[in-house]
Amino acid sequence: MLPFRRSWLFIAIFAGVDAALFIPAIAAFHQASEHWGSVNSLFDLVFAAFMSAWLLGWSVGLFLVSAVVLVLLFGREVVKFRPGELEIVLGLPGMGASAIYDVSMMRNLRHAEAPEKSGRSWRGSHLLFDYGANTVAFGSAISMDEASEMMRLLEAGVGQSIRVGKARPEELEERWEPGLEENPEALEQPGLSEPTKPLSLSSPSSIALISANLVPVVGTLFLGWKLSDVMVLYWAESAIIGFLTICKMIVIGRWFALLAVPFFLGHFGGFMVVHFLFIYAFFVEGVNSGGSFGGDLPAVGQMFIVLWPALAALFFSHAWSFVQNFLGRREYLGRSVRDQMGEPYSRIIFMHLVIIFGGGLALLLGAPEPVILLVIAVKIFVDLRAHLKEHEAK
């Protein structure tokens, strides 16, 4: 276990921030609880769901600040080494975040003094090494004699000396693997980084996407679906995409998803509930009730029951693409949780544009079926284009 320097000034600052974050969290929890206990209309349901989503997103920041306070108060830093590997664990006794480093990629192990007013200033004198394009620091308040002894023990534990010098170009490009320094020609072999082929209109997932999007055409022409039904259907499809986005974030982020998923549910869930309120106000209540807004919950539930064949088709289409493309073609490689988190919002932007222009066309033309078919056609074009771009060769 390494020396762990504690700054009481930082502890006091973070503890104050933590206490301040608790105040709106308690108020939001109280409001959400009250509305969940008396849901009588769609508006009540939307408000309760929105406050719950807001609280969920807020709780991630609250959890992180609370974790920082606990680490500052009771945390420790542990270095574990075994032949060929170095592991650094930072956290509380019995739990924490760890990082494992390949010793053959470590360079320039050294003792340093942290600059003032920097992110490492709390460490004071510490150890650090270069790893690819990054610098990794560990330890705090370590004297020169202690550092020399630690470096000797570390090299003895991993079974080799830490090399000195600049990084190899392939290390900076993250293409290096252990043993390739003995066979650099292997870096150029196409099998190591062979790109996947781009999708086309004839790809199974593209066909599934087009077929699923044609179901609303059948509903419009033969089942009497209205523009409001199609708008609610597309809102539900955005919810399906949000669910699969969570699945992708779990695949990419693994343990990090424990924080990223609640944060995503907070802001995406808030957008979705407010988005549904707009759709219901403009296309359901606004059309069927002459502008009055009530939101009868049994009637809202009935809309989704009517739409279940199209919902099932859209879910199958997106799930098929997730399994065949994201998992089967290993598209998760090279993606970050942050990038994946932002993908569903392009759909929300499109839906808001549809609300504005589709509603305007419905008022001007006064004929619902042409407007619905136009919306479906535009949606198929946008979906297919986005699908092919998302799964293009990398």
Distance CA 281, CA 292 (A): 9
pLDDT at 389: 78
Q: Is residue 142 part of a domain?
A: yes
- Whether residues 127 and 256 share a domain: the answer is no
Distance CA 243, CA 237 (A): 10
φ, ψ for residue 127, nearest 5 deg = -105, 150
- Whether residues 297 and 165 share a domain: the answer is no
Contact 105, 88 (CB under 8 A): no
pLDDT at 25: 93
pLDDT at 377: 86
- Whether residues 306 and 350 share a domain: the answer is yes
Q: How far is CA 349 from CA 290, 317, 343, in A?
A: 27, 21, 11
Residue at a domain's end among 36, 59, 74: 74
- Whether residues 212 and 349 share a domain: the answer is yes
DSSP 154-197: HHHHHTSPPB-SPPPHHHHTT---TTGGG-GGGGG-GGGSPPPP
- Whether residues 169 and 300 share a domain: the answer is no
pLDDT at 291: 45
- Whether residues 209 and 311 share a domain: the answer is yes
- Whether residues 327 and 382 share a domain: the answer is yes
Residue at a domain's end among 152, 174, 196: 174
Q: Is residue 88 part of a domain?
A: no
Distance CA 316, CA 210 (A): 12
- Whether residues 221 and 364 share a domain: the answer is yes
- Model-level pTM? 0.72
- Whether residues 250 and 155 share a domain: the answer is no
DSSP 3-state assignment of 235? helix
20 dihedral zone (left: phi>0; alpha: psi -120 to 50; beta):
alpha
Print pLDDT tens along the chain (394 aa). Answer: 676 777 788 889 999 999 999 999 999 999 999 989 888 888 888 889 999 999 999 999 999 999 889 888 887 888 888 888 888 888 787 777 788 898 888 889 999 898 877 777 778 888 899 988 888 888 888 889 888 988 998 888 888 888 888 877 776 665 444 444 444 444 344 443 445 677 777 788 888 888 888 888 888 888 888 888 888 898 999 899 999 999 999 999 888 888 899 999 999 999 899 888 888 887 777 655 444 455 678 888 888 898 998 999 999 999 999 998 889 888 888 788 888 888 888 767 776 777 677 767 766 776 677 877 887 888 888 888 877 877 765 5
Q: Is residue 182 part of a domain?
A: no
pLDDT at 190: 41
Contact 202, 209 (CB under 8 A): no
Diameter of the chain measured on Cα atoms:
85
pLDDT at 22: 93
Q: Is residue 2 part of a domain?
A: no
Q: Is residue 1 part of a domain?
A: no
φ, ψ for residue 86, nearest 5 deg = -125, 130
pLDDT at 1: 67
pLDDT at 339: 84
pLDDT at 180: 41
Strands, E, within 83-116: which ranges? 85-92, 95-102, 106-113
- Whether residues 141 and 279 share a domain: the answer is no
Q: Is residue 289 part of a domain?
A: yes
User: Which residues constitute the domain of residue 353?
Assistant: 204-390
Overall number of domains in the chain? 3
- Whether residues 256 and 376 share a domain: the answer is yes
